[in-house]
A and B are shown apart, each in its own frame.
Chain A
Amino acid sequence: MNQKRVLVLEDEPNISEAIRFILTRDGWQVEVEADGIAALERLRSAPPDALILDLMLPDMNGFDVLRSLRASEATRHLPVLMLTAKGQSADRELAAQLGVTRFMTKPFANADVVSALQSMVAS
């Protein structure tokens, strides 16, 4: 029962499939959501140990999700790894202001995602 749960909020099926494979192999219990509203619902009902958040989502963007997470007591301290393909420095700054735990740009090295997630949960 010491298996950690991670929610992956990612609308690109190929990318979420890759993340699921990597993290499952590392011993995580991986759940995937493709749109923000459903993900927020799941985060509130059963908060995971960590969240991997894509910036570009079809219904709302990653910043909105992060903002609403930090506004709620239950998820205020939830470790969040934000992944983005846009990779502009302005995005990185905004994410830091909103309380992101880690920020990585796509494409990423699989090992980096795994170690980032491990250190986030450990601390």
Chain B
Amino acid sequence: MSFNLLVLTCLAYVALLFAVASLAERSAEEGRAGWLRSPLVYTLSLSVYCTAWTFYGAVGYAARSGLEFMTIYLGPTLVFVGWWVILRKLVRIGRENRVTSIADFISSRYGKSNLLGVIVTVLCISAGTPYIALQLQSIAQSFTVFVTDLDTAPVAGDRTLIALWVAIGLAFFTIVFGTRNLDANEQHHGVVTAIALEAVVKLVALLAVGVFVVWGVAGGPADILARIDAQALPDWQIQPGRWTGLILLSAIAIITLPRMFQVLVVENVDDKHLATASWAFPAYLFAISLFVLPIAALGMELMPAGSNPDMFVMTLPLALGRDDLALLAFLGGFSAATSMVIVASLALATMVSNHIVVPLWLALRAANGQDTGNMRLLVLNVRRLSISIVLGFGYLYYVMSGGSEALAAIGLIAFVGMAQTLPALLGALFWRGASRTGAALGLISGAALWAYTLLLPSFGPGVVLPAHVMADGLFGLPWLRPYSLFGLTTLDPLLHALFWSLLVNVLAFCIGSFLSFPSPIERVQGALFVNVYDRPGPARSWSRPMAQAEDLLPVAQRIIGVKSAQAFFQAQAEGQGKAGFLPDITPEFLEALELKLAGSVGAATAHAMIAQSAGTAVVSVEDLMAVASETAQIMEYSSQLEAKSEELTRTARKLREANDKLRKLSVQKDAFLSQISHELRTPMTSIRAFSEIMMEADSLSPEEQAHFAQVIHDESIRLTRLLDDLLDLSVLEHGQVQLDVAPANLRKLLDQAVTSSKSVQANRMFRIIRSRDDEEIMVTTDGGRLTQVFINILSNARKYCTAETPEIYIQVRQMQDMIEIDFTDNGAGIPTESQALIFEKFARLTDSLHAGGAGLGLAICREIMQKLGGDIIYVPGQGGASFRVSFPRVLAARAPRREAAE
């Protein structure tokens, strides 16, 4: 084909691309971009991965190394099928944060650090420029292969002119469709649509050549397989280590290559497209690799020895007389090269302008005190300039490298270079502890090792690195040889570089992150990236109406109290020279207010409230989490307080009860002491008075003397008995009474009691009625104590029975194991209102007869009967005083009951 015709064909093809791109842009502007935003277009745009290097080079690769070319497709396939999670998160974060490039992604994750942006940009340019040069070379090469009249063509003198014109044309296209407007989200529908079209051309071209080769030249699949076997070389053996390394490398590349990041993340309009791409893109890769080996095999078989296998896709149809297929193949290769160059230059130019040129420009303008002027136009022009620069670099690189064979390897070298961004990128996605320092250290050390062990040596000994460094290592140190660092000689240079650069990169990244403390903005961005799914929906609107002071005042009032809030606002307004409660919303005021509120609700909550109210910032996940944790702490604290206060209430109630009890006991004790005092002082009074009388008067008659001595004697006995009773009661109530339990005859016990009680009012006639037969019962109990009770009852009857002819009736009943004895006299009985009191201490009802008791008798009786397992009660309505004593016939041997002191 003539040169002119081919140029015309190319121009026509480019015109078609222009038309498609324009159409897409116009549709997008008119809001009819429905089909443009389809998952299909998205998937096809991803095929920018398949450059001229894969289009032409894959066949050459297959001719030299067999199936190894497949690794370049297997890596991306694994990522799309297996590591879909990473892609999804990457895409979501990219969209939510309006990320414009991989440099922007890493820089904003690590605290919007422009240093990182610059590092990544420089890395991308270093790795990307040779790659662009490779595309230019492949186009130029395909021209020379295809054109039959090259010697008479205008470019005959200098083949690089082809590359120059291609570069200029592509720069023009990219500028027109890549910098039409400065969209907030950096999406270029025209470019993407054109790329999608080129993807189809690439695929169709390769499939057409493949089908022709398999069915047109060979006799179908079986025949082609046989011919492939015939061509197999020893080099075609699969090397597992190299395969693994290459698959890993291409897997990393699909994520980190600037052009892939551009189409995958920046140009993505919907997460869901990724779902389609996750199977459709691997399918595309499969289809495009399907006929690579057959073409390579037949090329080797049919083409003359020494033919460049990289051009088999085109030269094979040409040799077989199929110029139409060859032209299609040429357009396929042209598509692959141009789409890569367009997207890569767009992506690189965005980085260069955003991270290097614009910051420099602004710094210069600011230093000269100039106004920044029209930013929009500035950025667009810088972007256009950057595209030209990037393509210019690519062209220069191509010219300087002289189209050497070394260029062919540049694809994988670029892969390793871009792989250096992987640790920082994955850290951005999954590790909140990753820090800017760590990312910078990892990137720099990884990039340096990549340059030293792979990029610089790739130019050949003596070009960049002196030959002696290559052979003997830096400074003559063998362990610093670029291809066998630290004595590692078993890996080929590519894997060797990949291993060392990534290892050191990851180590530096982790160590740097562990040792450095992230700044607040890094922490916020980290939370925003890592927890991207925690945020409902897309990013909130940035424009919120500014809060007014009258909106903030109620908020403040609710938090710090009405008075305090008003005083604060008034003071602030006064500070601004305003009267009233409403200061202007200045940053200083907001800061002061935040500080004030922080004292009450915690710093994070205060910040979130002010940020929300003032509309100055979007509340981040981190902020909200801090708020939640503060709230949780406050709730925890208050529930602790609540529990404590409940405990206090309980304790207070117990204390109050104990206090009441003590007070009652104290009152009882006072009353008891007062009673005892009275009971002791009364006989003492008589004793003292009469002894004084006897001491002073010597004129007493013998009768008087005898009488007074008798009184003193009687009162002494009364005193003694009182003390005995007190001790007895005390022992019964509190002490451990030793009961003397033994068998005894109840009749004999009663006899004893009757005899003993006769001494009370001995001169008074007292009739005791008994039924001795009923009393013949053997009991096992403390006979002495029981008798004491009987005596007490009988003595009381003798003292208090008011009847003319007093008598007492003793009646014994035996009921099963219990014995009941009623003592009933014929006196007036005990008044109903007093019956409840008679068993209390000092409950002497009347002293009118001067019975001589201290009022402890019945209290003692009750204590004794309870100790004997029985009781003593007053039985009302029996015609006189009636006491019933009951007790078990046999007192079970048991441990003495320990009574609680009351």
A56 sits at the interface (CB 8 A) = yes
Contact B689 A107, beta carbon cutoff 8 Å: yes
1/0 per residue, CB under 8 A from A, across B512-535: the answer is 000000000000000000000000
With A and B bound together, what is the CA distance between A27 and B696 in angstroms?
16
Quick one: given A19-B689, A58-B846, A108-B688, are A14 and B681 in contact (CB under 8 Å)? no
| A-side contacts of B693, CB under 8 Å | 18, 21-22, 110
How far, in Å, is B667 (CB) from chain A's closest CB? 12
Contact B681 A107, beta carbon cutoff 8 Å: yes
| A-side contacts of B846, CB under 8 Å | 58
With A and B bound together, what is the CA distance between A25 and B697 in angstroms?
10
How far, in Å, is B716 (CB) from chain A's closest CB? 12
| A-side contacts of B690, CB under 8 Å | 14, 18
Contact A105 B681, beta carbon cutoff 8 Å: yes
Contact A58 B848, beta carbon cutoff 8 Å: yes
Q: Which residue in A12, A14, A35, A109 is a CB contact (below 8 Å) of B692?
A: A109
A33 sits at the interface (CB 8 A) = no
How far, in Å, is B81 (CB) from chain A's closest CB? 100
With A and B bound together, what is the CA distance between A25 and B704 in angstroms?
14
Quick one: given A34-B848, A107-B687, A110-B689, are A14 and B715 in contact (CB under 8 Å)? yes
With A and B bound together, what is the CA distance between A13 and B715 in angstroms?
11
Quick one: given A11-B848, A17-B711, A86-B674, are A110 and B692 in contact (CB under 8 Å)? yes
| B-side contacts of A4, CB under 8 Å | none
With A and B bound together, what is the CA distance between A109 and B711 in angstroms?
17
A106 sits at the interface (CB 8 A) = yes
1/0 per residue, CB under 8 A from A, across B846-869: the answer is 111010000000000000000000
With A and B bound together, what is the CA distance between A35 and B848 in angstroms?
9
| B-side contacts of A13, CB under 8 Å | 850
A121 sits at the interface (CB 8 A) = no
A119 sits at the interface (CB 8 A) = no
Q: Which residue in B674, B679, B714 is a CB contact (below 8 Å) of A88?
A: B674
Q: Which residue in A11, A15, A111 is a CB contact (below 8 Å) of B686?
A: A15
Contact A12 B689, beta carbon cutoff 8 Å: no
Contact A85 B686, beta carbon cutoff 8 Å: no
With A and B bound together, what is the CA distance between A11 and B714 in angstroms?
17
1/0 per residue, CB under 8 A from B, across A87-123: the answer is 1100000000000000001111111000000000000
| A-side contacts of B147, CB under 8 Å | none
Contact B686 A18, beta carbon cutoff 8 Å: yes
With A and B bound together, what is the CA distance between A52 and B679 in angstroms?
20
Best-buried of B682, B685, B693, B711 by chain A (most CB within 10 Å): B685
Contact A15 B685, beta carbon cutoff 8 Å: yes
| A-side contacts of B692, CB under 8 Å | 109-111
Quick one: given A13-B850, A34-B848, A58-B847, are A106 and B674 in contact (CB under 8 Å)? no
Q: Which residue of B lies closest to A13 (CB)?
A: B850
Q: Which residue in A21, A87, A109 is a CB contact (below 8 Å) of B677?
A: A87
* A19-56 at interface with B (beta carbon < 8 Å): 19, 21-22, 25, 34-35, 56
B26 sits at the interface (CB 8 A) = no
1/0 per residue, CB under 8 A from A, across B665-702: the answer is 00000000010011111101111111011001100000
| A-side contacts of B696, CB under 8 Å | 110
| A-side contacts of B684, CB under 8 Å | 106-107
Contact B689 A85, beta carbon cutoff 8 Å: no
How far, in Å, is A87 (CB) from chain B's closest CB? 6
Q: Which residue of A lies closest to B704 (CB)?
A: A21
Q: Which residue in A15, A25, A105 is a CB contact (below 8 Å) of B689?
A: A15
* B234-278 at interface with A (beta carbon < 8 Å): none
| A-side contacts of B679, CB under 8 Å | 85
Q: Which residue of B lies closest to A57 (CB)?
A: B847
How far, in Å, is A28 (CB) from chain B's closest CB? 15
Q: Which residue of A lies closest to B714 (CB)?
A: A14
| B-side contacts of A21, CB under 8 Å | 693
Q: Which residue of B lies closest to A105 (CB)?
A: B681
How far, in Å, is B118 (CB) from chain A's closest CB? 97
Chain B interface, number of residues (Cβ within 8 angstroms): 25
How far, in Å, is A63 (CB) from chain B's closest CB? 15
With A and B bound together, what is the CA distance between A19 and B689 in angstroms?
8
With A and B bound together, what is the CA distance between A14 and B847 in angstroms?
13
| A-side contacts of B850, CB under 8 Å | 12-13
Quick one: given A11-B847, A14-B715, A110-B689, are A86 and B682 in contact (CB under 8 Å)? no
| A-side contacts of B689, CB under 8 Å | 15, 18-19, 22, 107-108, 110
Contact B685 A85, beta carbon cutoff 8 Å: yes
| A-side contacts of B847, CB under 8 Å | 11-12, 58
| B-side contacts of A87, CB under 8 Å | 677, 681
| B-side contacts of A19, CB under 8 Å | 689
With A and B bound together, what is the CA distance between A35 and B677 in angstroms?
22
How far, in Å, is A109 (CB) from chain B's closest CB? 7
With A and B bound together, what is the CA distance between A17 and B693 in angstroms?
11
| A-side contacts of B711, CB under 8 Å | 14, 17
With A and B bound together, what is the CA distance between A56 and B674 in angstroms?
12
Contact B848 A85, beta carbon cutoff 8 Å: no
| B-side contacts of A14, CB under 8 Å | 686, 690, 711, 714-715
| B-side contacts of A18, CB under 8 Å | 685-686, 689-690, 693
Q: Which residue of B lies closest to A11 (CB)?
A: B847
Best-buried of A11, A14, A56, A105 by chain B (most CB within 10 Å): A14
With A and B bound together, what is the CA distance between A87 and B685 in angstroms?
13
How far, in Å, is A114 (CB) from chain B's closest CB? 11
With A and B bound together, what is the CA distance between A105 and B680 in angstroms?
12
Q: Which residue of A lies closest to B845 (CB)?
A: A58
| B-side contacts of A12, CB under 8 Å | 682, 685-686, 847, 850
How far, in Å, is A85 (CB) from chain B's closest CB? 4
With A and B bound together, what is the CA distance between A64 and B674 in angstroms?
19
| B-side contacts of A22, CB under 8 Å | 689, 693
With A and B bound together, what is the CA distance between A44 and B469 in angstroms?
142
With A and B bound together, what is the CA distance between A58 and B693 in angstroms?
27
With A and B bound together, what is the CA distance between A58 and B679 in angstroms?
14
Q: Which residue of A lies closest to B690 (CB)?
A: A18
| B-side contacts of A35, CB under 8 Å | 848
How far, in Å, is B674 (CB) from chain A's closest CB? 5
Q: Which residue in A17, A58, A85, A108 is a CB contact (below 8 Å) of B682?
A: A85
Best-buried of A12, A21, A88, A107 by chain B (most CB within 10 Å): A107
Contact B681 A106, beta carbon cutoff 8 Å: yes
With A and B bound together, what is the CA distance between A47 and B684 in angstroms?
31
* B113-162 at interface with A (beta carbon < 8 Å): none
| A-side contacts of B682, CB under 8 Å | 12, 15, 85, 106
Q: Which residue of B lies closest to A18 (CB)?
A: B689
| A-side contacts of B686, CB under 8 Å | 12, 14-15, 18
Best-buried of B681, B711, B714 by chain A (most CB within 10 Å): B681
With A and B bound together, what is the CA distance between A13 and B685 in angstroms?
11
Q: Which residue of A lies closest to B695 (CB)?
A: A110
| B-side contacts of A25, CB under 8 Å | 697
How far, in Å, is B851 (CB) from chain A's closest CB? 12
| B-side contacts of A108, CB under 8 Å | 685, 688-689
With A and B bound together, what is the CA distance between A59 and B685 in angstroms?
21
Q: Which residue of A lies closest to B718 (CB)?
A: A14
How far, in Å, is A106 (CB) from chain B's closest CB? 4
Best-buried of A17, A56, A85, A108 by chain B (most CB within 10 Å): A85
26 of the cross-chain contacts (CB-CB < 8 Å) are A12-B685, A13-B850, A14-B686, A14-B690, A14-B711, A15-B686, A15-B689, A18-B693, A19-B689, A21-B693, A22-B693, A58-B846, A58-B847, A58-B848, A85-B677, A85-B679, A85-B681, A86-B674, A87-B681, A106-B682, A107-B687, A110-B689, A110-B692, A110-B693, A110-B696, A111-B692
Known: A14-B714, A58-B846, A107-B688. 9 other contacts (CB 8 A): A12-B686, A12-B847, A15-B682, A17-B711, A22-B693, A25-B697, A35-B848, A106-B682, A107-B681
Q: Across the A-B interface, give the 3 residue pairs with the lowest CB-CB distance, nearest first.
A: A18-B689, A85-B681, A14-B686
Q: A residues within 8 Å of B by Cβ? A: 11-15, 17-19, 21-22, 25, 34-35, 56, 58, 85-88, 105-111
Q: B residues within 8 Å of A by Cβ? A: 674, 677-682, 684-690, 692-693, 696-697, 711, 714-715, 846-848, 850
